[in-house]
Amino acid sequence: MGAQTMTYPAIDWLAITPLIILLGGMMINLVVAALTRVWPRAWYAIGTVELAVAAIIVEMFIWHDINQDGSRIIINNALSIDHFTMFCWIGIAGALALVSLSTAEYLRREGLEGPEVYALYVCAALGAMIMTASNDMIVLFLGLETLSIALYVLAASHRRRADSQESGLKYFILGGFASAFFLYGIALIYGSTGTTNISGIGNVLSTEVFVNGDDAMLLAGIALLIVGLAFKVAVVPFHFWTPDVYQGAPTPVTSFMASVGKFAAFAALLRVVTIALPTRAEDWRPVIWVLAILSVVVGSVLAVVQTDVKRMLAYSSISHAGFMMIGIESIGHSGDVDGLPATLMYLMIYSVLVIGTFTVVSLVTRTGDNGSDIGSFRGLGKERPALALAMTVFLLAQAGMPLTSGFIAKFGVIQAAAANQSYAIAIIAMVASVIAALLYLRIMISMWLSDEESGDDKREAIQVPFTAGIVVAGSAFFTLLVGVWPSWLIDASQAALQLAK
């Protein structure tokens, strides 16, 4: 019997260059760090930022290449290379750079300096990038697990804080259940369609007709798939892990989870419902509608009654996830073209907003990372007026005030809902946004108007290191730039409509 020749899939090396840069750079950094003395302050962060910037430059070239030659699916139909993917990759790499800079001084302050946290950031970013580009459910699951495992370890990375250990354990246990739901959903969809390829599932469902309840397995698979991703994006009722994990995790890690984690899970959900399940929109759209309503209402109401700022922002992130769900719900209406770019733009804007916000929180919590109650912000306007001003910009943007990026984000998804005559969800979202504004107002009052109390003069002075200052200033500039001149970001998100199928 003659030897059989193994056929390997063709590989588009240019398309996966950003992944190679991050993976190779991370491994080189770890090896060099292990073989040399402790690096000078912030060098680990700068090395990670250089990798992220190099990846963004290559992604810009690939964006131009897609303009010239069109979208494509590579490596045996496993990854989609299109404007949607590049938009997400640029957002994830940008978030990686910002969070790395904000982490540098935090780790030095807490006595945790080392390359491991940055390596885990890069691992999580790689998983997130795989998720956003996946054209196969198995590849999507591998990306999800790569992201999740790195986040579990990052949440528990502050070894001297019991809260950090607790948050990592909670996230790990509940995340394991969510991954099991997701994988079981993939299995049931495979059993119904005979393929795990996302484009292939869409083709099968567009031609196959189910009668007499023959689609029960498919519907169960879609439901479990949504449950798995709903946990990752933290929408009600799959949000229970969020406040505890956000509060207990190191503050820069919290900003990474809230930005990159949400970016990856929402992008994966967008690609699945747009390419694999458009013909089953009448089945999944009501579920998304309910999740969106619950998230904007519960997130906004519970955020207002919190006393810890990190828990406030955790519930606020649940509310923002609800707004993004409104954009996904609008995709379920036939002929809709606004929901996908509106949701993508919201993801990009929120990622920068939340990183800037948590960077300020990280500075205010001081050594030990425990002072995140609202009283810790008392007098910030007098002690650090520039920092308080930047925080005010972030809070106003999250509230959706005009001339900030948050207004553009919320207007986009509400406009998409109204265009499809989903007036109820649009009205409820606007009312919830007004309720959530009370939360942001409480923090601003504490910063600018609250009187000093006894013992405030003995608190550790707030330091604003150069790297964190760059993140805060850059995030505030982006927030105001998009609020005043949003057309460039709108055009970029509109380009993402041309998905590779």
Q: Give the pLDDT confidence of 435-480 residue by residue, as tens digits.
A: 988 889 989 998 888 777 766 667 777 888 888 999 999 999 999 9
Contact 390, 473 (CB under 8 A): yes
Decide if 5 is inside a domain: no
Domain range for 479: 17-495
What is the dihedral sign for C-alpha 166, 116, 232, 49? positive
> By three-state DSSP, how is residue 195 classified?
coil
Please write the tens of the pLDDT for every residue from 144-158.
Answer: 999 999 999 999 888
Contact 297, 275 (CB under 8 A): no
Decide if 4 is inside a domain: no
Contact 89, 21 (CB under 8 A): no
Q: For the chain, give the mean pLDDT.
A: 88
Angle between helices 83-110 and 466-484 (to 10 degrees): 150
Cα–chain-centroid distance for residue 262?
2
Q: Which of 191, 260, 267, 262 shows the shortest CA–CA distance to 224?
A: 191
Q: How far is Cα 486 from Cα 475, in angstroms, rounded to an integer?
A: 15
Q: Inform me whether the pLDDT recorded for 370 exceeds 90.
A: no
User: Within a 10 A sphere around the Cβ of 401, how many other Cβ atoms?
Assistant: 16
Alpha helices in 257-404 (DSSP H): 262-271, 281-304, 309-331, 339-364, 380-383, 385-399
Q: How far is Cα 105 from Cα 464, in angstroms, rounded to an integer?
A: 9
SS3 string, 206-258, reads HHCCCCCCCCHHHHHHHHHHHHHHHHHHCCCCCCCHHHHHHHHCCHHHHHHHH
What is the chain's Cα-based Rg? 22
Burial 120-152 (b: 16+ CB within 10 A, else e): bbbbbbbbbbbbbbbbbbebbbbbbbbbbbbbb
- One-letter amino acid at 408 equals I
pTM listed for this prediction: 0.94
Query: Measured between alpha carbons, how far is residue 7 from residues 4, 15, 75, 150, 263 in Å?
Result: 9, 21, 12, 33, 35
Decide if 400 is inside a domain: yes
DSSP string, 415-434: HHHHHTT-HHHHHHHHHHHH
Contact 487, 331 (CB under 8 A): no
φ, ψ dihedrals at 377, nearest 5°:
-90, -5
Q: pLDDT > 70: what percent of the chain? A: 96
Q: For 82, which DSSP code?
A: S
Q: For 308, which DSSP code?
A: B
Q: Which residue has the tokens 């804007």?
A: 349
Whole-number pLDDT of residue 189 = 92
Decide if 65 is inside a domain: yes
Residues 6+ apart with CB under 8 A from 385: none
Mean pLDDT calculated for residue range 189-213: 84
Residues 6+ apart with CB under 8 A from 290: none
> By three-state DSSP, how is residue 158 classified?
coil
Q: Inform me whether the pLDDT recorded for 122 exceeds 90.
A: yes
Q: Inform me whether the pLDDT recorded for 2 exceeds 60.
A: no
Mean pLDDT calculated for residue range 297-305: 91
Please write the tens of the pLDDT for every residue from 323-336.
Answer: 999 999 998 886 56
Q: Which of 477, 476, 400, 472 shows the shortest CA–CA distance to 441?
A: 400
- Give the distance between the most distant pair of CA atoms in the chain: 88
Q: Work out the angle at residue 342's Cα, subtended by the Cα atoms of residues 337 and 345, and round it to the nearest 5 degrees.
A: 135
491, burial (CB in 10 Å: exposed 0-12, middle 13-18, buried 19+)? exposed
Phi-psi region of 83 (alpha: psi -120 to 50; beta: other; left: phi over 0): alpha
Decide if 501 is inside a domain: no
Q: Inform me whether the pLDDT recorded for 131 exceeds 50.
A: yes
Q: How far is Cα 100 from Cα 468, in angstroms, rounded to an integer?
A: 9
Confidence of residue 1 (pLDDT cuts 50, 70, 90): very low
304, burial (CB in 10 Å: exposed 0-12, middle 13-18, buried 19+)? middle
Mean pLDDT calculated for residue range 246-252: 90
Q: How far is Cα 162 from Cα 169, in angstroms, rounded to an integer?
A: 11
Q: How far is Cα 106 from Cα 253, in angstroms, rounded to an integer?
A: 10
How many domains does one find in the chain? 1
Please write the tens of the pLDDT for every residue from 377-435.
Answer: 888 888 889 999 999 999 999 998 999 999 999 999 999 888 888 889 989 999 999 99
Please write the tens of the pLDDT for every residue from 11-41.
Answer: 888 889 999 999 999 998 888 888 887 777 7
User: Within a 10 A sphere around the Cβ of 65, how many other Cβ atoms?
Assistant: 16
Decide if 451 is inside a domain: yes
Q: Inform me whether the pLDDT recorded for 56 exceeds 90.
A: yes
